[in-house]
Amino acid sequence: MWSQVSSKGSIRIMAFAVRIVNYQRNRMLNICDSHLIGRTLIQDDLTMNITESYFAERIVDEKEAGQLLQNSSIINMVGEETISLSVKLGIGSAKGVKKIEGVPFLLVFKF
């Protein structure tokens, strides 16, 4: 069920934290690499809080994350694994990726 990713000589399970919000016929997906939950990223005057209440309604595997990415019209993404999966699926572009403290994030609107 879970994909494995090698991370600096160890094995880490690839899991995604997700929260879905349905609003006026649109599905907004907040999704991040699950290991980022609880981090606060600060760079210059920009702060990003990766909170459980915003991103982690539940934890899903790569297959379900891919389905959610494909079926959402507004997507807030944070993390290497999340954005890699999104770009692999043709959702968003690597050109649109920005980084805060070296952690990538990407916003996608599909209308």
The domain defined by 3-7+19-109 carries CATH number 3.10.20.30: no
Q: What are 45-85's pLDDT values in tens digits?
A: 999 999 999 999 999 999 999 999 999 999 999 999 999 99
Burial class (CB in 10 A: 0-12, 13-18, 19+), 108: middle
**For residues 52 and 37, is the Cβ–Cβ distance under 8 A?**
yes
Report pTM.
Answer: 0.86
Q: What are 2-52's pLDDT values in tens digits?
A: 344 444 555 656 899 999 999 888 999 999 999 999 999 999 999 999 999
Domain ranges of the chain: 3-7+19-109
Is residue 95 scored above 50 in pLDDT? yes
